[in-house]
Structure 1
Amino acid sequence: MKNDLLNGLVVTGTLVTQNFLVTAAYTFIANLGSVLVRKSKGYSEEMLQGVFNRKVTTVWMLRDNAEIESPIEEVDIDDVIVIHTGELVPLDGVITKGTITVDQHMLTGESVPVEKGVGDQVFASTVVIAGYAWVKVTETGQNTAVAKIENVLQSTSHFMTGLQLTGEKWADAAAAPILGLGVFLAPLQCLGVGTAVFNTSPGNGIRMSASAQTLVHIILASHESILIKDGRVLEQLMGVDTIVFDKTGTLTEEWIV
């Protein structure tokens, strides 16, 4: 017995008592909340994934020392592809010939382009600023570094914070007493009274308000170019007293604390 059972009883009770307007209004409001949450999630995913929205559909593959344009889906591991100035690196790989300058700040945070030569690794979705190279493919599809990051971002808007989990747990725990009270009052008063009691469950409000509130913060952060890996960290933010940076190149502005 959980909150969803009470929702079904509210709809059933209003239909049986022929309060069709109440049925329509309740159903509309309940579904509107769900639609708004889904739209917020979709918008959040779009904002977060927009960091890597530049995609490559075709690549130059090396066949018998000739460059052949092919769909990226046809590239396999150990194939050799050719990248030129101004192009995106299509897949993860290792340079086997040539030297290039790569802008990979969107992936690594490095503000300064880096020089890469034979034996160096390159990553999909980074930009070749200058040079020409042959790259032996090491990862394709969902195994590339950028694809793994995108998978993390996709799951960001499907989290449930600790506060939301606690709220829904309480709402589900309250379902049985509310159900019992409604069933008890229905024959003593009327079915409408029992239905009204079923409608007192806080589950819908907790579910919608908690998820929507946290998603709004994620969207606001994304407008400031801040990517939140997991919304649950927002609850722990007040307890943070130290920030650790893995390299000085990440710091593009001076921060005074």
Structure 2
Amino acid sequence: MQNIVTHDRLVLPRLGLGTWPMLGEECARAVQSALELGYRHIDTAAAYENEAAVGRALEQSPVSREDVHLTTKVWWDQLQPAAMRASLERSLDALRSDRVDLFMIHWPGRDWDLPRSIETLVALREEGKARHIGVANFPLALLRRTVEELGAPLSAIQVEYHVLLGQRQLLDYARQHGMALIAYSPLARNRIAEVAEIRDIAARHRAQPAQIALKWLLDQPAVAAIPKAGSVANQRINLGALEVMLDDEDRALIDALPKNQRLVSPDFAPAWDACDE
């Protein structure tokens, strides 16, 4: 599996398994089969309510925990220092682990004390409960403040990113600061197959549309992707993206697609203007 190495030596497999919205045995089976196929990057969150299933699968797998990158996240209403600490402790208990590889703020809070939240995030890293720290769903202006004003040693940012939604500004900034950008919903919530250009490219390569969309992401420096895949068949398809070889014509067609289709924007989302294309 190809890896990204960040400024602070986070080793992040480019292709991971997203686990939302899988629950219980479905989630555990998906994690188990993914590990058997060679996945070494598992993404979960407190809000997904599936950390216990992920932890059970990791514990039962013959794959060493040291060989698996594990990400979890704290929800936006738990960003007070004591609440953040309690959230991570609950996550660690559910995951049956004494630390995670990447601990992230899942969404910006409302009327929150950003400096205290970031201070706590950094402290949890220094205490060894998270090897690395990051943020998700931060617009560029907020990411700049977090890195430049507060000095947060972030390893990664996780955002919605796919062939129909551009993240050029965030990606440029992440690269400048040695961070990884982790793309969630990288298959645009299964809308990829509806895009004629993607279907045409897939036909030329005798590949699946999902593989084309994923490889476009995975070919980009500093970009990882975490598609959700519950079945072994879909996990194999996604792994097959690593074997696809896109050419300049393919990339030009994909680059020319409109990049303004944001599919994840709940009512508590921040203003996206600072990172939209």
Task: Please indicate, yes or no, whether the TM-score normalized by the shorter chain is above 0.5.
Answer: no
* TM-score, normalisation: structure 1: 0.27
Q: Which has the higher contact order (CA 8 A, sep 6+)?
A: 1
